């Protein structure tokens, strides 16, 4: 590999400083940089906290490029490296020490993994072979160990590879009943990899969660069984200490579940001490005070009337929501639960048009990452839906809830999304908690940053819209193709995305049209 000079064409930077204070929202722009987007260039962003941020791209079919910027968005280094021709960038994994990049082709057994040492700026490349017709759904790393989950002929498979020896083994994943691997998460605090299995029997599913050590050895296993009328749709394991573990997720009525639909009724929380389940508490969304705030006033009134009538008769309104559950946030005396409400959308497509990492991979666009249908529907059976093609996830709102040490619901709150849609099911909202009990909620959409501050069920600062502007005289953002935001470090957030900008009134250097990828450092 070689380190590129700053004058390399695809690395030219347009740097824009600004310090305009948004007094209403309490946000201050610190710095914005832009990179030109010639041809089909695309960038993937990996925030590194105080260490800065990485940008990954593929200048050509057989080359990858990694650039590192520090916490002031000054470029530190840039590295080009060779990659097998026509391999797509699939995903990355950051364990707090190094970033691992995954390259492959659809259903190929060949994978190339690039370890990026984020400090000194050098890379190591590893080539591994897995299984034929392996559909990868998850990629996580811990040290030099790689955990990949996926499906082979609709059967769940969990693979462990030690990169230093190139030894690959299939970890035992057989659980009585038909199972699917829903999530794979890295617990850097306890140096574990947590894997959640949805185990289904008929229309009922339970959650089995396993923690693995870096060597691939099983550390612990816990299972949560649903009540008779329920089905557990998702579960995320969190190890609090050597003996206490918590699983949170969504549940629904058993008779509401199907291969085409996962209908969530509410959230559950299960606490396990040793090998014994202390409690499993269920909280229907009909018991939340703010869950339906995303509806119009008239819709809310009708829903509240339905709920009231049902509860008076000893029943509950059956709901049909999909939820993406975040990691639980342990507080001093309670837990903070966060989840985003979404629904998948489909469109009709000529089957002859499908293929590659695009529609043939369950509708996922080429080269943009992993797609896991089991993450949102454990009843999914690997079959098509009458030639319907997946067309993205639409997010409606996010919910937050405080739960005490006994699993009881203390309060709830929500924030509505403004027509947010994504081809990838991942966390859109960022949550930051403060010692005074406040919680800040932030997300990025259509080139703007939206925020809300709550304290329990109270709203401290109502929804704010912060324009993500260029601050160049005469600039007009015509289109924002992609945008995202993440909490970075301290009181700073990092926003990024692609924009088409026109300038008819600026100076000769900025006049005209430009397509850019931007990084925006924002202070709150």
Domains of the chain: residue spans and CATH: 42-174 (2.130.10.10)
What is the Cα–Cα distance from 270 to 280, expressed in whole angstroms?
A: 4
| Mean pLDDT value of segment 80-104 | 90
Q: Binning pLDDT at 50, 70 and 90, where does residue 473 land?
A: confident
Contacts 24+ apart (CB under 8 A), 276-285: 277/222, 277/224, 279/406, 279/407, 280/224, 280/407, 281/403, 281/406, 281/407, 281/408, 281/409, 282/227, 282/230, 282/251, 283/401, 283/403, 283/409, 284/316, 284/319, 285/319, 285/321, 285/399
Higher pLDDT, 177 or 62: 62
* Structure tokens belonging to residue 461: 């600062």
Q: What is the pLDDT of residues 218-265, one digit of tens each?
A: 998 899 999 999 999 999 998 888 888 999 999 999 999 888 788 999
Q: Place 478 in a pLDDT band, splitting at 50, 70 and 90.
A: confident
Of 195-209, 242-256, 354-368, give the lowest mean pLDDT range: 354-368
| pLDDT, mean over the chain | 84
Residue 404 in this model has a pLDDT that exceeds 50: yes
pTM for this entry? 0.86
Q: Residue 354: what pLDDT? A: 35
402: tokens are 């405080």
- pLDDT for 13 equals 45
Q: What is the pLDDT of residue 382?
A: 61
Mean pLDDT on 66-73: 96
Is residue 97's pLDDT more than 90?
no
Ordered DSSP codes for 433-495: E-TTS-EEEEEEETTEEEEEEEETTEEEEEEEEEE-----TTEEEEEEEEEEEEEEETTEEEE
Q: How many CB atoms lie within 10 A of CB 299?
A: 11
Average pLDDT over residues 496-510: 81
Least confident piece of the model among 102-106, 381-385, 515-519: 381-385
* Beta-bridge partners for 335: 330, 403
pLDDT at 362 over 50: no
Which of 209-213, 219-223, 503-507 is least confident?
A: 503-507
pLDDT at 25: 44
**Residue 493 and residue 485: Cα distance in Å, rounded?**
7
- 388 falls in which pLDDT band (50, 70, 90)? low
- Range scoring the smallest mean pLDDT among 2-16, 73-87, 241-255, 318-332: 2-16
Residue ranges of E strands in 326-474: 329-330, 334-348, 388-404, 409-422, 430-433, 439-445, 448-455, 458-467
User: What pLDDT is attached to residue 270?
Assistant: 95
* pLDDT confidence band for 174 (50 / 70 / 90): low
Neighbours of 493 (CB within 10 A): 25
Residue 261: CA count within 13 A, CB half-sphere: 13
Where are the extended beta strands (E) located within 202-264?
204-212, 218-224, 230-232, 236-239, 244-253
What pLDDT was estimated at residue 10?
Answer: 45
């Amino acid at each position: 590999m070689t380190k590129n000079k700053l004058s390399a064409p695809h690395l030219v930077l347009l740097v824009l400083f600004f310090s305009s204070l948004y007094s209403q929202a309490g946000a201050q722009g610190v710095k914005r940089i832009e990179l030109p987007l010639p041809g089909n260039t695309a960038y993937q962003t990996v925030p590194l906290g105080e260490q800065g941020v990485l940008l990954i791209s593929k200048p050509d079919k057989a080359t990858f490029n990694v650039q590192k910027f520090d916490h002031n968005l000054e470029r530190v280094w840039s590295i080009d490296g060779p990659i097998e021709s026509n391999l797509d960038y699939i995903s990355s994994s950051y364990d707090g020490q190094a970033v691992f990049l995954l390259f492959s082709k659809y259903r190929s057994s060949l994978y190339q993994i690039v370890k990026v040492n984020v400090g000194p700026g050098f890379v190591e490349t590893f080539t591994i072979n897995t299984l034929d017709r392996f559909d990868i759904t998850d990629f996580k790393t811990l040290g030099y160990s790689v955990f990949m989950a996926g499906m082979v002929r609709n059967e769940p498979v969990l693979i462990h590879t030690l990169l230093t020896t190139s030894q690959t083994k299939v970890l035992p994943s057989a659980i009585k009943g038909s199972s699917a691997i829903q999530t794979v998460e890295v617990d850097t605090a306890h140096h574990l990899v947590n894997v959640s299995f949805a185990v289904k029997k008929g229309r009922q599913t339970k959650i089995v969660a396993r923690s693995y050590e870096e060597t691939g050895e099983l550390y612990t296993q816990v299972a949560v069984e649903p009540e008779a009328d329920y089905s557990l749709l998702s579960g995320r394991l969190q190890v609090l200490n050597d003996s206490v573990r918590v699983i949170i997720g969504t549940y629904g009525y058993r008779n509401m579940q199907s291969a085409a639909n996962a209908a969530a009724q509410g959230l559950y929380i299960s606490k396990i001490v040793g090998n014994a389940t202390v409690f499993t508490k269920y909280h229907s969304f009909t018991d939340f005070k703010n869950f339906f705030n995303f509806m119009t006033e008239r819709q809310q009134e009708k829903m509240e009337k339905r709920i009231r009538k049902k509860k008076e008769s000893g029943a509950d309104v059956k709901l049909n929501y999909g939820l993406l559950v975040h990691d639980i946030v342990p507080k001093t005396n309670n837990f903070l639960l966060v989840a985003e409400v979404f629904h998948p959308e489909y469109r009709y497509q000529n089957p002859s048009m499908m293929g590659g990492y695009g529609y043939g991979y369950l509708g996922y666009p080429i080269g943009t990452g992993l797609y896991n249908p089991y993450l949102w529907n454990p009843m999914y059976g690997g079959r098509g839906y009458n030639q319907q093609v997946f067309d993205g996830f639409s997010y409606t709102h996010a919910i937050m809830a405080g739960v005490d040490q006994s699993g009881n619901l203390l309060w709830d709150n929500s924030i509505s999304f403004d027509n947010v849609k994504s081809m990838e099911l991942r966390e859109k909202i960022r949550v930051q908690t403060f010692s005074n009990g406040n919680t800040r909620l932030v997300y990025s959409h259509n080139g703007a940053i939206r925020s809300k501050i709550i304290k329990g069920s109270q709203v401290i600062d109502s929804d704010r819209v912060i324009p993500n502007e260029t601050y160049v005289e005469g600039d007009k953002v015509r289109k924002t193709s992609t945008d995202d935001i993440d909490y970075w470090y301290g009181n700073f957030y990092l926003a990024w995305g692609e924009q088409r900008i026109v300038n008819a009134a600026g100076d000769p250097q900025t006049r005209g049209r430009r397509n850019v990828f931007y990084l925006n450092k924002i202070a709150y």
